[in-house]
Amino acid sequence: MKTNSFKKNKYFYFFIFCFILLFTVLEYLLFYKGFYAISADESGRTLEAYKFYRYGSGFYSCWLPFQKIIYSAALYFYYNLFLLPRLISFLFGIMTLLSIIALSHELFHNKIISILTCFLAVIFPAFTIFSILPLSEIYYFFFIITSVMFYIKWCNNDNFLSLWLSIIFMSIGMTTRYETWIFAAVLYIMMANRLYRSGGLNRRKIILLTAIFIILFSFPLYWIHLSFLNTHRVLGLADAVASNYLSNNNIPCIKDYVFYTFLEFNITSLNILSIISIFILRKSFSCIKQYVFLLFSTLIIFSVISYQMNAMPNHNFWRLSMIWSAMLLPFTAHFLYYLYNAGQSTLIKSMFFIILFAVLSYLFIEQTMRISSASYISSDDFKIGKILQQRFKKDKFNIYIEPRGWDYLGIQVVSENPDMVITKLNNFDKIKDSVFCVNGALLSELKQKNISYVVLRPFTKLSSAKVKVEPLGKFILWQAYKIQLQME
């Protein structure tokens, strides 16, 4: 029976396999060209996981713990701070592709629409970008899309296994990003409403809803409790999150408002065509109506909350709205399918379809290339980190990096030995001093702290009359030296 089913769907599986292969090639090309990060968050999250792995500390922070748990566990099997988190993100990227294919199938029960959805997801900027970076988005995408897929499956077949799988994936997803808490709250209300409308509430359903509530919201309540213990404020969690973002002046934030970025991306990428399909399907199946309600209600709620809290990032604003744009992909695929099949087949219609499909694909790819055109972890960061990694294998030493912002974190991660990096010297003021003069008190401090390498900004002068200096190479963004200390 299974063999017959496979033969019947062999072309469907063939297309899915080819698209996953294409996705793998795209990820490799991004990595090969040196696209390693869009912010300092990638390195920051990796270093948090390293501290948890090495010392068991730092479980609570403003970032939710899923990444540090999975990375720290994986480090026991394969220690590579730079490559391992990116491999894990890539695996979750593939799983997210499979989940959105399954979601499309549950919504439309049409293999062609599912194949179109898969192709659009492969070239969708957020999937392509976040599947090669150790950020929280791809994990969040996977758990949200998978949970919603199982919820729609439950709506279609009333199988309680699908309901419980939806609950489990959502409850795990709530350890990835705070936005998931809003999805969980709305999804819980939808579950309660559906159970109520199927014959009212009875004792069994009340017990079921209570159990679902406990499973879904135990972690958020626990995390809020940890926040109170650490901040001694009931709203300490909200303050901790908002403190990392813009504050005081709301006017410049309007263009970066979540709903604005949602509209901007979907209009400029033509993903807004999905709205036409939603309009066409407005009187269709109940599961589609529930999906659309979940999508837009959570978008509106999060937009309002993030705006009121000033909880909008000061970089890469487009990140926040991408989950809702991704959830529109099955409807964009449906629009393409509807366009091709509506009415009689003519040459003009076929040409219009091909042109529209090509333009849509180009716009997705163009946005991916624009976002990936520069890497926050530069080639200089990577080269210096690799040099230090090789030298750490031969000798144990510390390294001083002259910090400016957070861009030195990439060197820490690539070096594989973040504990060896020192960013503060008592006898060198990185703001006031323009000369790194290795003599007197600074020389003594370098020797005391066993610092054998220094990485300085390009405009900081190195005065090395008292030490032997070996340049590590020619770099644009840094100066890197090995120093052999000689006391006066």
Give the tens place of pLDDT for each residue, 23-50: 999 999 999 999 999 999 999 999 999 9
pLDDT in tens, 162-201: 999 999 999 999 999 999 999 999 999 999 999 998 888 8
Q: Which pairing describes strands 421-422 and 398-401: parallel, antiparallel, or unpaired? A: parallel
Would the pLDDT of 245 be above 80? Answer: no
Separation in Å, CA 103 to CA 95, 168, 243, 330, 403: 12, 17, 36, 8, 46
Q: Distance of alpha carbon 389 from its chain centroid, rounded?
A: 27
Say what the pLDDT of residue 253 is: 56
pLDDT of residue 38: 93
Q: Choose between 348 and 474: higher pLDDT.
A: 474
Q: Count of alpha carbons within 13 Å of 456, Cβ hemisphere only?
A: 24
Cβ distance 108 to 83 under 8 Å?
A: no
The pair of structure tokens assigned to 361 is 């694909």
- Per-residue pLDDT tens digits for 159-172: 999 999 999 999 99
Model pLDDT, residue 240? 59
pLDDT score, position 241:
59
Residue with tokens 């988005």: 137
Per-residue pLDDT, averaged over 213-229, amounts to: 92
CA distance 430 to 220: 41
- pTM (2 decimals)? 0.92
Residue pair 170/147 in contact (Cβ under 8 Å)? The answer is: yes
Report d(CA 43, CA 409) in Å as an integer: 6
Residue 81: the pLDDT is 95
Per-chain mean pLDDT for the chain: 88
Position 235 confidence tier, pLDDT thresholds 50, 70, 90 = low
Torsional sign, CA 244, 247, 251, 257: positive
- Distance in angstroms (rounded) separating the CA atoms of residues 55 and 13: 45
Tokens coding 283: 């009187």
Cβ–Cβ under 8 Å, residues 286 and 155: yes
Q: What percent of the chain has pLDDT over 70?
A: 90
C-beta pairs of 64-70 under 8 Å, 24+ apart in sequence: 64/136, 64/174, 64/175, 64/176, 64/177, 64/178, 64/223, 65/175, 66/136, 66/139, 66/172, 66/175, 66/176, 67/134, 67/136, 67/139, 67/176, 69/175
The distance of Cα 354 from the centroid of its chain, to the nearest Å, equals: 32
Residue closest to 72 by CA, chosen among 62, 61, 60, 57? 57
**Res 248: pLDDT:** 45
pLDDT tens for each residue of 403-460 = 878 889 999 999 999 999 998 888 887 666 678 887 788 888 888 888 889 999 888 8
How many angstroms separate the CA atoms of 317 and 239, rounded? 19
* pLDDT value, residue 234: 59
Mean pLDDT, residues 105-130: 96
Rounded CA-CA distance 305/52 in Å is: 31
Q: Is pLDDT of 247 > 60?
A: no
pLDDT at position 464: 74
Total count of residues recorded for the chain: 488
- In the block, residue with structure tokens 């809003």: 182
Q: What is the pLDDT of residue 236?
A: 58
Judge whether 146 and 94 are in contact, CB under 8 Å: no
Helix axes 111-123, 347-371, angle to 10 degrees: 30
**What pLDDT score does 286 carry?**
81
Cα separation, 270 vs 222, in Å, equals: 41
User: Which tens digit of pLDDT belongs to each residue from 370-390?
Assistant: 999 999 999 999 999 999 999
Contact 214, 228 (CB under 8 A): no
Closest CA to 165 of 199, 215, 209, 127: 215
Give the residues across from 484 on adjacent strands. 468
Q: What confidence tens digit (pLDDT) does each residue in 248-306 have?
A: 444 445 666 888 899 999 999 999 999 999 998 877 778 899 999 999 999 999 998 88
Report, as an integer, the average pLDDT of 356-363.
Answer: 94
Specify the pLDDT at position 197.
87
Contact 417, 388 (CB under 8 A): yes
pLDDT for position 167: 97
Q: What is the pLDDT of residue 426?
A: 87
Does the pLDDT of residue 244 top 60, yes or no? no
